[in-house]
Amino acid sequence: MGCGRCVTWCPVGIDITEEATALHDERVGRLRHEKQKETER
């Protein structure tokens, strides 16, 4: 956990918490897809 200044003061408006959530969700989706492929075999 940080202080949040990087989110508040980012000059290009990047919210690291949103980016981390998006990366996490993408990875979870890939893992589910891989698991589904394994169970179809």
Alpha helices (runs of H) in 1-41, residue ranges in sequence order: 5-9, 16-40
pTM: 0.69
Q: What is the pLDDT of residues 15-31, one digit of tens each?
A: 988 999 999 999 999 99
pLDDT band at 1 (very low <50, low <70, confident <90, very high): low
CA 26 to chain centre: 6
Distance CA(28)–CA(22), nearest Å, equals: 10
Query: Which of 9-13, 25-29, 33-37 has the weakest average pLDDT?
Result: 9-13
Q: Cα dihedral sign for 31, 37, 40, 41? A: negative
Q: What is the DSSP letter of 1?
A: -
Distance CA(29)–CA(32), nearest Å, equals: 5
